[in-house]
Amino acid sequence: MSETTVAEAPVSEDEEPTRRGVASTSDKIIGGILAVVAAFAVPALTYLLLNATFETLNNRVPDIVVGLVAILIGVVGVFLMYTVVDFGIKALPVGIGNIIQPYAWAGPAVIVLGVFLVYPAVNTVQLSFLDARGENFVGWDNYQYVFTDPAMLRSLRNTVIWIFVVPVAAVAIGLGFAVLADKLKRTESLAKSMIFLPMAISFVGAGIVWRFVYSFRVEGGGEQIGILNAIRVGLGSSPVDWLGVVPWNNLLLMVIMIWLQTGFAMVILSSAIKGVPEDMLEAARLDGATEIQIFWRIIVPSIMSSIVVVFTTMIIAVLKVFDIVWVMTGGQDGTEVIAERMIRNMFTFRDFGRGAAVAVFMFLAVIPVMIINVRRFREEESIR
């Protein structure tokens, strides 16, 4: 039986790339348009759906029901929306689908980040050049205030001290706990859990807890409920207004931050220590190295990248701290910090221009720390 050969229809130049799964010029144009639509569709539809739901349920059902419905729409609804988008992409030609797919999945997240991060940042920079009401242009006056106002200068000085004291102390204590906990056998997890426990407390909660440590009542004003003053009175001494003693009150506030961050440093550094090769440590012991020499010459250099990451992370946290100061002293008695000044100007004094200028200064101060973190991460990746 002879075979019959059927001639294939000629394929045009525009159709050939599509057959190979490669987008042609026309597919790229269509794909680009659909990619933009897909990126904006999910956040736009989610907003419209949530807005319509809230308008419908407003003042008709309890708030808890509204919250549950919002969670249902935000989780299940968005999941179904992405499922429909993915189904629609697969129904398109391969070339067009390959163009749309990354934009459809990552595009909504980028747009949401742009709306809630980029736009507020740009608006804050613009607001920093306006007056207290955010109406009239005042040039660099607000930035001049940042570097000339006595309270702002105190906040800058205090913040610099916080940056040097808190990360150094927290990392040093956390590293010590990590090394000691690593020596434990049965109670290692329990010991680490107890040290890490303060991380579960918010900064505001920690401030309230430590108010009972530093609490002060004048002699004859009642029983001392503060632990430190109760001990002093019990030993026959007079009570001390700890949070009013300048400049030591700043150090007492830093103790709270160190107490909160030590557990974080311990957990990260403990994991790094466990990654140090045991053979290297045993070889050092066989060569006669003491445990102190092993710690400084082997362990610390081996985990230096983790130490830098923890240190820079804490610097960023210190630059943002205002909760502790706000709860403990309200920024009085020379305890101002940059973030507290920003909140004070923005929401207490209602001076939006100055508050925005302080916020921009904080943002610029964080950038070098972020660059160090990124470079360190790239160095580690290149080694791997």
In 3D space, the residue among 294, 276, 277 whose CA is nearest the CA of residue 285 turns out to be 294
Q: What average pLDDT does range 140-150 have in this prediction?
A: 93
pLDDT tens for 102-136 read: 887 888 888 888 888 888 999 999 999 999 888 89
If one counts the domains in the chain, the total is: 2
In 3D space, the residue among 52, 54, 50 whose CA is nearest the CA of residue 63 turns out to be 54
CA distance 35 to 99: 7
The reply to whether 33 falls in a domain is yes
CATH number of domain containing 352: 1.10.3720.10
Q: What is each CA distance from 13 to 94, 95, 96, in whole angstroms?
A: 17, 14, 17
Confidence tier at 2 by pLDDT (50, 70, 90): very low
Whether residues 201 and 283 share a domain: the answer is yes
Does the pLDDT value for residue 198 go beyond 70?
yes
Whether residues 168 and 219 share a domain: the answer is yes
The reply to whether 242 falls in a domain is yes
Among 68, 103, 118, the domain-final residue is 118
CA distance 278 to 285: 11
Whether residues 172 and 317 share a domain: the answer is yes
The reply to whether 136 falls in a domain is no
Whether residues 102 and 163 share a domain: the answer is no
The reply to whether 2 falls in a domain is no
Whether residues 149 and 107 share a domain: the answer is no
Whether residues 157 and 238 share a domain: the answer is yes
Q: Check residue 16 and give left, alpha or beta (phi > 0: left; psi -120 to 50: alpha).
A: alpha
Between 265 and 27, residue with greater pLDDT: 265
Whether residues 94 and 168 share a domain: the answer is no
Whether residues 242 and 328 share a domain: the answer is yes
Whether residues 94 and 220 share a domain: the answer is no
Scanning the chain, the segments in alpha helix (DSSP H) are 15-19, 25-57, 63-72, 78-90, 94-113, 119-127, 141-146, 150-183, 188-196, 203-214, 227-234, 248-274, 278-286, 291-294, 300-302, 304-320, 323-328, 338-343, 352-383
Whether residues 227 and 311 share a domain: the answer is yes
Return the number of other C-beta atoms located less than 10 Å from residue 2's C-beta: 4
Confidence tier at 6 by pLDDT (50, 70, 90): very low
Confidence tier at 219 by pLDDT (50, 70, 90): confident
Does the pLDDT value for residue 203 go beyond 80?
yes
Whether residues 109 and 146 share a domain: the answer is no
Domain that holds residue 247: 142-383
Between 41 and 300, residue with greater pLDDT: 300
Among 118, 151, 172, the domain-final residue is 118
The reply to whether 9 falls in a domain is no
The reply to whether 125 falls in a domain is no
Does the pLDDT value for residue 74 go beyond 80?
no
CA distance 62 to 51: 17
The reply to whether 133 falls in a domain is no
Whether residues 281 and 236 share a domain: the answer is yes
Does the pLDDT value for residue 157 go beyond 90?
yes
Does the pLDDT value for residue 91 go beyond 70?
yes
Q: What average pLDDT does range 380-384 have in this prediction?
A: 65
Q: Above pLDDT 70, what percent of the chain?
A: 92
